Amino acid sequence: MNKVIFACRHSAGRSQMATAFFNQLADPARAHAQAAGTTPADRVHPEVVEVMREVGLDLSGARPQLLTAELAAGAAHLVTMGCGEECPYIPGAKVQDWALDDPKGQPIERVREVRDEIRSRVTTFVEQQGWSAMPDETAAIRRTYTEYFQVFQTLRPEAVASFYHVPCMALSPQCVTVMTASEEVRAFFRTMRTALQARHYARSERGALEVKLLSDQTALVSTRVKRYATDGKELEQFGATYLVRKTDAGWKIVVTTIHDASTV
């Protein structure tokens, strides 16, 4: 088990956010993080609790604690965020400093920016160390989407619909379609098939696939799609983003969003 300490001055903002993200992303059998501070506050900053709740992490019960040599004993990594020379020396620990603004008292938009920067850094750190709790899920999601994209070329409503969770939703600039039964999903794709056949649709091509894990049960999948007619001319291109959910039957599409390709 690898122990990681995230330390900031008050243990009420940056270190708490980093610890929450780390313990969400890392395999608990391989690594665990703790937050600490050199002069701990009485509670986590309210603005930090608020922005973390927005991403599904509850810090209302977290309590700042003093960074001591005893607490940090055996830590493999120490990540400092503003405590500088006040942080104690930890024998054997690899030390790195993240220059991040203190979110205390900042406008909520700035606190969100700090939160997102911390999440990005933690994600990179966990991946670099090989501690990800979901290393195989990204591959599974990619495989599922690749199969879905191939099946879509056939325009067979029943086959395409099998990749969707029920209920599900389709969003586009033209309309919003909510489907609460399997037959509604199949009907939706029968209507789409008719519309594409009327335009002499032949095939689709997609760009690079981006997968962002939101939790162990949900992820966002984004790509760019081009559709071509039987004469080889391009019919359209667009961005496509999918919210997918892990079920007993594998990863299923919950929400499909069609939008401008430049926003992918």
Return the CATH number of 2-129, one of 3.40.50.2300, 3.40.50.150, 3.90.1150.10, 3.40.50.300.
3.40.50.2300
Where do the CATH 3.10.450.50 domains begin and end in the chain?
Answer: 137-263
Q: Are 65 and 35 in contact (CB under 8 A)?
A: yes
Which of 2-16, 81-95, 147-161 shows the lowest mean pLDDT across its residues? 81-95
CA–CA separation, 66 and 60 (whole Å): 18
Check: CB of residue 223 under 8 Å from CB of residue 207.
Answer: yes
CA 90/CA 74 separation, integer angstroms:
8
DSSP state of 120: H
Name the band, by pLDDT with cuts 50, 70 and 90, for residue 198.
very high
Q: Angle at which helices 46-54 and 108-129 pack, to 10 degrees?
A: 60
Mean pLDDT of 115-131: 93
Which two structure tokens, joined as six digits, stand for 108? 């909520």
pLDDT at 133 over 80: no
The top-level CATH class assigned to 137-263 is: alpha beta
pLDDT digits (tens, 9 = 90+) for 43-84: 999 999 999 999 889 999 999 999 888 888 899 999 998 765
pLDDT of residue 134: 59
Tell me if 13 sits within 8 A of 45, measured CB to CB: yes
Q: What pLDDT is stored for residue 263 in this prediction? A: 43
**CATH 3.40.50.2300 segments of the chain:** 2-129
Average pLDDT over residues 211-215: 89
**Cα angle, residue 54 at apex, residues 223 and 254 outer, rounded to 5°:** 40
